[in-house]
C-alpha cells in the first residue's frame, strides 16, 4: 500500500477512490505551511496538488520516496518539471478534464461583450434606459473567433463556437498543415498576425512559457481588429495588462474577459478601474462542480494506475 499526500482540495468521491487502495493524508490547507508540507512528504509515494502548492527542488529534497505528482488541472507553472524529471518523478496533469467549462466561459463572455450586457445592466439599473445606444450593438452569430493555441481546450471551444454559428480560425505553431478538422469542419490554421487581423474575438489557450510570456504586448494588441474582444483563460503573464487597459479605455478594443492575471490572487487591478467593457473573474473559467468531479476522478484513477504499475 502506497502513501498519498493531497495538499489541496479534491472531491469526496475521488478521495474515497484513493482511500480504497492506498493510505491517504488529506490536508487541503497544508500548502500554506511549507515546513509542515515538506515534513508530511517524507514518507509519501505520491503528491496531489492544484496550482498553489509549489513543487520545487526544495520540496523534492524532502520527499525521498516520491514517485508521482498528480496535478488537479492542466497548468504546470507551479511544478519544476526538470527537477521532477531528474528524479524520475512522473507528473500527471488533468488534460482535457476542464475543457467543457473553459469553452462555456469563452462563449459566454464573448457573447456578453459583443452584445454589451454588462454596461447595459449598469446603465439600466442607474435609471437611464439606454435602449437606443445598445440597439447599435451587433449579433454574435456570424462573427469570427480566433483561437490561439489549438489543443484540447481550444478545439472544444471551437466546436462550441461553430455550433453557435461562428466562424473559427486557429493559430498553433506546433501543428502542421493548413487546417484542423473539428466535428467535420475544417478550421484554418493561420499565422498569428493573420488571425488577429481577421477575428472579432480572440481567445487564448496557451501555456505560459518563455516564448509566450508577454506575447500579447502593446504591439500585438494593436494588430487586432478595431473593436475586437480578447478573452484570456490561459495564463496572466501572456497579456500585458496595462497595455490592454489602455486599449479598452480608448475604444481601440471593444472589450476583454480576463480570468487570469499576472499576479494571483490579484489584489491590485487599479489599472482597470472604471472600465465597463471588461469582465474580470478570479480564475474560475475551468472550475465548476462538474469539472471538479472530472478533474479529481481523472487524477485519482491515473495516480492509482501509476502506483500499481510502478511496483
User: Does residue 133 sit in the same domain as residue 203?
Assistant: yes
User: Does residue 92 sit in the same domain as residue 212?
Assistant: no
Host domain of residue 105: 99-280
pTM of model > 0.75 = yes
Give per-residue pLDDT as tens, 232-285. 999 999 999 999 999 999 999 999 999 999 998 899 999 999 999 999 999 999
The residue with cell 469570427 is 144
User: Does residue 122 sit in the same domain as residue 258?
Assistant: yes
Domain count across the chain: 2
User: Does residue 38 sit in the same domain as residue 51?
Assistant: yes
Q: Which of 155, 145, 267, 266 is nearest to 198 (CA)?
A: 145
CATH number at residue 71: 3.40.50.720
User: Does residue 70 sit in the same domain as residue 127?
Assistant: no
Residue 310 has a pLDDT of 75
Catalytic residue among 22, 50, 205, 283: 283
User: Does residue 239 sit in the same domain as residue 108?
Assistant: yes
pLDDT band at 69 (very low <50, low <70, confident <90, very high): very high
User: Does residue 72 sit in the same domain as residue 131?
Assistant: no
User: Does residue 107 sit in the same domain as residue 245?
Assistant: yes
Catalytic residue among 211, 264, 271, 290: 264
Q: Please say if 138 is a catalytic residue.
A: no
What grid cell was written down for 181? 478538422
Percent of the chain whose predicted confidence (pLDDT) is above 90: 97
Q: Please say if 264 is a catalytic residue.
A: yes
* Phi-psi category of residue 141: left, alpha or beta, with phi > 0 → left and psi -120 to 50 → alpha: beta
Q: Please say if 16 is a catalytic residue.
A: no
- DSSP secondary structure letters along 29-96: TGGG-HHHHHHHGGG-SEEEE-SSS-B-HHHHHT-TT--EEEESSS--TTB-HHHHHHTT-EEEE-TT
User: Does residue 251 sit in the same domain as residue 201?
Assistant: yes
182 pLDDT higher than 80: yes
Percent of the chain whose predicted confidence (pLDDT) is above 70: 100
User: Does residue 90 sit in the same domain as residue 104?
Assistant: no
Which regions of 183-296 does DSSP assign to beta strands (E)? 185-188, 201-204, 229-232, 255-258, 278-280
Peptide bond into 196 cis (omega under 30): no
Helix axes 12-19, 289-309, angle to 10 degrees: 10
Angle subtended at Cα 231 by Cα 278 and Cα 260, rounded to the nearest 5 degrees: 80
Residue 311 has a pLDDT of 63
What grid cell was written down for 189? 490554421
Residue 162 has a pLDDT of 98
Catalytic residue among 71, 235, 247, 294: 235
Amino acid at each position: 500500500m502506497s502513501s498519498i499526500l493531497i495538499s489541496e482540495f479534491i472531491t469526496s468521491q475521488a478521495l474515497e477512490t484513493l482511500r480504497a487502495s492506498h493510505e491517504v493524508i488529506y490536508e487541503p490547507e497544508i500548502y500554506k505551511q511549507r515546513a509542515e508540507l515538506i515534513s508530511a512528504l517524507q514518507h509519501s509515494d505520491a503528491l496531489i496538488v492544484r496550482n498553489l502548492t509549489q513543487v520545487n527542488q526544495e520540496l523534492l529534497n524532502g520527499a525521498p520516496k516520491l514517485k508521482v505528482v498528480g496535478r488537479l488541472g492542466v497548468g504546470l507553472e507551479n511544478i519544476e518539471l526538470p527537477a521532477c524529471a531528474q528524479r524520475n518523478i512522473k507528473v500527471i496533469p488533468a488534460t482535457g478534464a476542464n475543457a467543457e467549462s473553459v469553452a462555456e466561459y469563452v462563449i459566454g463572455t464573448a457573447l456578453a461583450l459583443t452584445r454589451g450586457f454588462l454596461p447595459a445592466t449598469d446603465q439600466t439599473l442607474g435609471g437611464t434606459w439606454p435602449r437606443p445606444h445598445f440597439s447599435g450593438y451587433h449579433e454574435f452569430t456570424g462573427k469570427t473567433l480566433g483561437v490561439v493555441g489549438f489543443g484540447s481546450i481550444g478545439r472544444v471551444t471551437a466546436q462550441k463556437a461553430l455550433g453557435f454559428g461562428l466562424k473559427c480560425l486557429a493559430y498553433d505553431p506546433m501543428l502542421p498543415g493548413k487546417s484542423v478538422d473539428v466535428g467535420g469542419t475544417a478550421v484554418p490554421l493561420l499565422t498569428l498576425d493573420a488571425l488577429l487581423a481577421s477575428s472579432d474575438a480572440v481567445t487564448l489557450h496557451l501555456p505560459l512559457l518563455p516564448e509566450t510570456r508577454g506575447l500579447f504586448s502593446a504591439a500585438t494588441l494593436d494588430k487586432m481588429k478595431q473593436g475586437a474582444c480578447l478573452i484570456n483563460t490561459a495564463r496572466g503573464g501572456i497579456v500585458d495588462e496595462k497595455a490592454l487597459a489602455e486599449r479598452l479605455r480608448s475604444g481601440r478594443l471593444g472589450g476583454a474577459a480576463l480570468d487570469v492575471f499576472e499576479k494571483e490572487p490579484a489584489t491590485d487591478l487599479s489599472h482597470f478601474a472604471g472600465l465597463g467593457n471588461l469582465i474580470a473573474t478570479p480564475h474560475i473559467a475551468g472550475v465548476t462542480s462538474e469539472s471538479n468531479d472530472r478533474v479529481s476522478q481523472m487524477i485519482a484513477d491515473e495516480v492509482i494506475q501509476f502506483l500499481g504499475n510502478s511496483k
